[in-house]
Structure 1
Amino acid sequence: MRVLIPAALSALAIASRAPAAPVESLGGQTMGTTWSVRYVPMPGAGAAHSAATLRAAVEQRLAEVIDQMSHWEPGSVLSRYNDAAPGTWHPLPPAFRTVLACALRVAAESGGAFDPALGALVDLWGFGPAPARTEPPAPREIEAARARCGWQRLTLDTARQSLLQPGGVRLDFSGIAKGFAVDHVADGLRQAGLVHFLLEIGGELRGEGVKPDGSPWWVAIERPPHLPQAAPGWQETRVALHGLAIATSGDYRRGFAWQGRHYAHTLDPRTGWPLDNGIISATVLHPSCMEADAYATAFGVLGAEAALDLATRRDIAACLLRRTGAGVEEILSPALIAMLD
């Protein structure tokens, strides 16, 4: 086993121990998955750090994300935009604008490997609110859906803080919204006065502060569930989450099998088809879980070489797993290798 230590985890940080109090836990369900938080109540906080108060704060933040960005909720801001008439402008709330701005930036950086306007393809493949499929759509259907997609079709009026619906565009934030939710909830916990906590939503995590004994919040990089523990090329890795988030995109999360092939839920916007580049998973460490989420999706679509190039240029800590004949191959970015020193 190996460990990754962020540069921010200095001796001073470890010395600034959390209060000598039991670590408390909360959890629940959201966005078709689960959330949990482990935290150390601060001295003198009283009711402000009670389980009921903190649960209400978490659930309020999660509800805001769902109300704005869920493509499963017909009344969400995103769903209303998707169903709107061509040529209409739609005012965007601040959280939505934050996510869209990040999504468009990552789309441009990745050459469209990440695309927030992928909804028509997601629906066609049955990976969204539409009924699930048991076989792939016809090529002509895929091309027709692709014609309705593309982040370049989005026109954002920053002065009016509004987005144009050109006609037929369907947004899909499933590759970024969960990461934003982690950041959004973490911000709410900090506003409530928490300093030391580990937050998780659907496998994406953010750690702040340290545990009462001064040690960091340790988490393991996700191991693909079908991968044998002793698979050649695989090494268990633990990360000290201190002011840091981690997100993983994997081809094993959802999908269907047809005629001997697995069709993963992650689509390549540039082709309209599920990934077929050998990438099993892409894990990203970043101060922003929103960005970690988006880059993990983009890296998985890009493939090993292009993903490593982008991660190197952007100084992003990333770990990719690629299938080989004997097992798996790890591809580590320079920023992640530096955390091993």
Structure 2
Amino acid sequence: MAQLDVSQKLEILADAAKYDASCASSGTTKRNSRDGKGIGSTEGMGICHAYAPDGRCISLLKILLTNSCIFDCHYCINRKSSNVRRARFTAKEVVNLTLSFYRRNYIEGLFLSSGIIGSSNYTMEQLVEVARSLREDHHFRGYIHLKTIPDADPELIHQAGLYADRMSINVELPTVSGLKRLAPEKDNGRIEGAMRGLKSSILDTRDAKKRYKSAPTFAPAGQSTQMIVGADAATDGDIVTKAATLYDRFDLRRVYYSAFSPIPDASAVLPLQRPPLMREHRLYQSDWLMRFYGFQPKEVVAAADDATGMLPLDIDPKLAWALKFR
């Protein structure tokens, strides 16, 4: 890998991070600095990168630790066989960038993900070190969202949760068959097992907090995930059903939907064109109906076309349901 300066790395790794949609800062708790130490806050206003439920703009530095990866997922621009410029930050460089951007009032927090380098455990150790250094060495009180690395040791995941506000692990695709076809090195059982472990740690810590004020927090803003839309043959009905299952099983704060976007030197098994962005939008509307309006997953699926399983693009899902069930 050619030697790059920090600004060149930032250009590459910020661009590489744009494909991950599971970046939000809703639900975090405010950290106080009663001892006079600490910088950053999740409560201020800044450059808009994500929105909290109350409409506040939350500015985040959203980067990858590296876009090198030992996996070869067909849909990923950073896959092992992809012909892209590679770069890698050190943990210290990410810490310094975060602090520098905060002091300039560019950001209020950090979203950090990574390709897998060396091994899952080694990569997760690097992510944990970034969060640990920010919190302990620099008393950073801003928002931190860490992406969980598949197959990382549960103890590393636990350490990450002690420093991060939110954690996420992407299920990537809505069906097991789609995951096997497009990401054969990933396993749905292991992904859901990691999500189950996060849920357990969050609930255990929440319960401990009720009894002991000194108990540490663990990912107080919960966990989220992302599904890619349009990279496989999954219908909107499949996606809505999968999302509902994830919410129910793992107490997710959000499921994010990311319309597949064709990438350079794409694999032959991928579609040639991206799905309509309106499809992604309709899925978010469906998600909203289930989370805030009491719609059952089967009701949302019932609004889809019986033959194709797709939601209509010209009208929103609630209107589609109303017209179908007058």
Fold match, TM over 0.5?
A: no
TM-score band by shorter chain is under 0.3
TM-score (norm 1): 0.26
Select the structure that is richer in strand: 1
Select the structure that is richer in helix: 2
Higher RCO, 1 vs 2 (CA within 8 Å, ≥6 residues apart):
1
TM-score (norm 2): 0.27
